[in-house]
Chain A
Amino acid sequence: MFGALLRKLGRTVVILLVVSFTTFVLMYSNAYEIARATLGIGANELKESDVRVQMTYLGLDRPLLVQYGSWLKGAVTGDFGESFFTGQSVTGMLATRVPVTLALVILTIILTAVLSVLIGVTAAVRGGWVDRVIQFLAVLGGAIPAFVIAIVLVFAFAVSARILPATGYVSPEQGLTEWARSIALPVLALLIGSVANAASQFRGRSSTRSPGTSSARCGPGGSASRGSSSAMCCATPEAPA
């Protein structure tokens, strides 16, 4: 138990190191352009030596490994450095932004869990045309990218109907209703694809485990018979010996 926990912890640390190093190399390998970008729009008219001075000021002239080591040392203690553009602490910026993203994700996960179970089980139990319609909508919802759904929702609810705001965020402290209105469309945009995928899974699991439905239609050895989904039959778990 303790050994397995240590192994998982070790693996997580290795993954974090590999991912952070790869990301760091990808971002900082072009230090000259980063320095030029931080100088603003007029940087194109500056001489190369001016950009080099900025590179030295930002510490980007140091070897990449030294830069990564310095970043890692700070990251371990919770100090992710300062933004090149705003000069603000990255930890502080994360602290103000993470709650917004988490609210969006947690709300979507909770609604996905509730709705996908309801829809998936309804499809599996009812069968017939209800099942087919739900399957069709699930495939459609899963296939359309979230950003397309988001744009359609903005047109429908913000531009045409004018019942929800298209952009902007209201914090919960300013009013729960306004907060809910401000994140309603983003959550809905995420929810459609998420529910579509999860409902298909729940529907498949419910069908294979319910004796009255599709598992009864599966042939011997899990092969599909007429009217059943081959994917569902193949997914039927082996009975314990």
Chain B
Amino acid sequence: MALNWQIMALLGSAVFIEQIFALPGLGEAGESGVLAG
């Protein structure tokens, strides 16, 4: 269970970090962003 939460937290952080580094992932910033845009 703890591992599941850690992976979920990591996924959330990854989406956020993608915005900082302008990576075209789920967290891509701007109007085309799927989750965080």
Contacts and interface: CB of A to CB of B under 8 A. Distances in A.
Interface string B1-22: 0100011001101111110111
Chain B: interface residue count, which band? 20 to 34
Contact of B10 (A97, A167, A194): A194
A190 B34 contact: no
Contacts, number: 89
Contacts of B15: 101
A150 B31 contact: no
Interface residues of A, number: 36
Contact of B21 (A86, A108, A109, A185): A185
Contact of B11 (A97, A101, A197): A101
Contacts of A86: 31-32
Contacts of A147: 16-17, 20
Contacts of B25: 97-98, 100-101, 104
A197 B31 CA distance: 34
A104 B16 contact: no
Contacts of B14: 101, 104-105, 108, 186, 190
6 contacts: A86-B31, A101-B11, A101-B25, A147-B20, A185-B21, A197-B6
A168 B21 CA distance: 7
Given A100-B26, A105-B7, A108-B14, 17 more contacts: A90-B34, A97-B25, A97-B34, A101-B11, A101-B26, A101-B27, A104-B23, A146-B16, A147-B17, A150-B20, A168-B21, A169-B22, A183-B23, A189-B20, A189-B21, A190-B17, A201-B2
A167 B24 contact: no
Contact of A100 (B7, B18, B31): B18
Contacts of A93: 32, 34
A120 interface: no
A83 interface: yes
Interface in A99-116: 100-101, 104-105, 108-109
Contacts of A100: 18, 23-26
